[in-house]
Structure 1
Amino acid sequence: MVTLADCQRTQHAWFQALAQATGGRAFSTHKMDWVWLPETREMLCMFPTEITAAGLKPALSEAERRGASSVGIWLNASVREGLLPEYGFDPGWKPWWMTRALDLESVSKASDALEERIGLTAVVDDQVWLATARIKEEWAGRSYAFLPPEQDGKHLAGIFDMEVAPEHRRSGIGTSLLNALSEAAFNAGAEHLLLNATPDGQRLYRQHGFELIGKGQTWWFHPPR
């Protein structure tokens, strides 16, 4: 069984892996765990159980020093926002946590439907994959799958950063990306997939067997320039 805690832990691990791969960093400030992503210039706090001034102030100072474009707080739906409005944070989008079991039958069906327009790259062997869609050499979409190395015996892979070019939406690109990543993760030992979806995006995932197990919340601060 996949839990909300599993989803949150995998999301946090993904951002930590991104930070490590792109010259960012992860750090903690008084019960708040942060990740700095230099490519998107985002400072993110991942699922704190308590919002404190002692946790916020040094991270906001670090975000200002690094020229962050945004500071985001990812929260479990049961955690109150506390001091966030006082520090200029506004409520943002709500992640829909969704999961799906992987088995040989479902992956075999997906494999039969794979198309030549999808390219798959193992960024890190048996851990990170990038699926890229191209139509007549034109970039059409991409997504990642991530199988964290340490999961206390669980075999969960996350689907992250799904993006389809506006002009190629509703053409099956999202399905093809998902199929390619599902097969790669399954072959590496994943038994379940998990992801966070937007209210619009969840329609695609429901069509492919994903079930909603809970919702989260985000809060965002955009430093003045």
Structure 2
Amino acid sequence: MVTLADCQRTQHAWFRALAEATGGRAFSTHRMDWVWLPETREMLCMFPQEITDAGLQPALAEAERRGATAVGIWMNAAVREGILPAYRFERGWQPWWMTRALDVESVVAASEVSDGRVELTCLADDQVWLATARDEENWAGRSYGFLPPNQLGGKHLAGIFDMVVDPDHRRTGLGTALLNALSEAAFNAGAEHLLLNATPDGQRLYRNRGFELIGKGQTWWFHPPQ
């Protein structure tokens, strides 16, 4: 069984891996865990159990020093925002946590519907994959798959992250093709379940591909003046 805690741990592990791969860093401030993503210039706090001045102030100072364009807090829906509005954070989008089991039948069925517009690249053996979609020579979309090592309880959960399809190429099957390519790669690497966070609009695609909603989260955002 995949839990909300599993989803949160996998999301956190993905951002830590992304920070490490792009020259960022992960750090903690008074029970608040942060990642700095230099490519997007985002400072993100991952699922704090409590939000305090002692946890926020050093991270906000670090975000200002690094020229962050956004500071985000990913939260469990049960955690209250507390002092966030006083620090000019505003409520943002709500992640819909969705999961599905991987089995031979579903993966084989998906692989039989191949789509030549999608190319799969392995970025780290049996851990990270990038699926890229092109229409002829033009970029049309991409998504990442991530199977974290050393998961709690011996679970084998892979995450699908940063799914983007160019607006001009939506409703052409590219989202499904990206998902199929990453599902097959994760299954072949030993994943037993997939998990992801969806927007209210995006969840329709995932429901059609067998994903089920197991809960919702919340994000809060502060955009420093530039």
TM-score by length of 2: 0.99
Residue aligning to 2:161: 160
Distance in 1 separating the partners of 2:220 and 2:92 = 5
What residue in structure 1 maps to residue 77 of structure 2? 77
Q: Supply the distance in 2 between the matched residues of 1:222 and 1:136 (Cα, whole angstroms).
A: 37
Q: How far apart, CA to CA, are the structure 2 residues paired with 1:74 and 1:116?
A: 36
Q: Determine the structure 2 residue equivalent to 1:25.
A: 25
Q: Write the letter of the residue equivalent to 2:20.
A: Q
* Alpha-carbon distance in 2 for matches of 1:51, 1:113: 47
Partner of 1:89: 89
**Matches of 1:20 and 1:101, distance apart in 2:** 29
Residue 124 of structure 1: CA displacement? 0.3
- Give the Å deviation of 1:89: 0.2
Question: What SS does structure 2 have at the residue aligned with 1:48?
Answer: coil
Distance in 1 (CA, whole Å) between partners of 2:224 and 2:190 is: 42
Task: Work out the CA distance in 2 between the residues paired with 1:7 and 1:176.
Answer: 23
Q: CA deviation at 1:116?
A: 1.1
- Identity over aligned residues, as a percent? 80
Distance 1:31 1:44 in 2: 14
Counterpart in the other structure of 1:99: 99
- What do the CA deviations read for 1:9-29 (whole angstroms, capped 9, x no partner)? 000000000000000000000
1:137 CA displacement: 1.1
Is 1:62–2:62 an aligned residue pair? yes
Equivalent residue letter for 2:50: E
* Displaced runs of 4 or more, over 2 A: none
Give the equivalent residue in structure 2 for 1:181.
182
Partners of 1:115 and 1:74 in 2: CA distance:
34
Match of 2:191 in 1: 190
CA distance, structure 2, for counterparts of residue 137 and residue 112 of structure 1 = 24
Alignment partners' CA distance in 1, 2:136 and 2:60: 44
Q: Work out the number of aligned pairs and report it.
A: 225
Give 1:221 deviation, angstroms. Answer: 0.2
Correspondence for 1:15: 15
Deviations 1:42-101 (A, max 9, x none): 000000000000000000000000000000000000000000000000000000000000
Distance 1:171 1:205 in 2: 15
Report the secondary structure of 1:109's partner residue: helix
- 2:131 matched residue in structure 1: 131
Instruction: Report the TM-score when normalising by structure 1.
Output: 1.00
Post-superposition Cα deviations, 1:99-158, rounded to whole Å, max 9, x if no partner, equal 000000000000001211110000001000000011111111000000001102000000
- Output the amino acid matched with 1:15: F
Following TM superposition, by how much is the alpha carbon of 1:37 offset from its aligned partner in structure 2, in angstroms? 0.1
SS at match of 2:7: helix
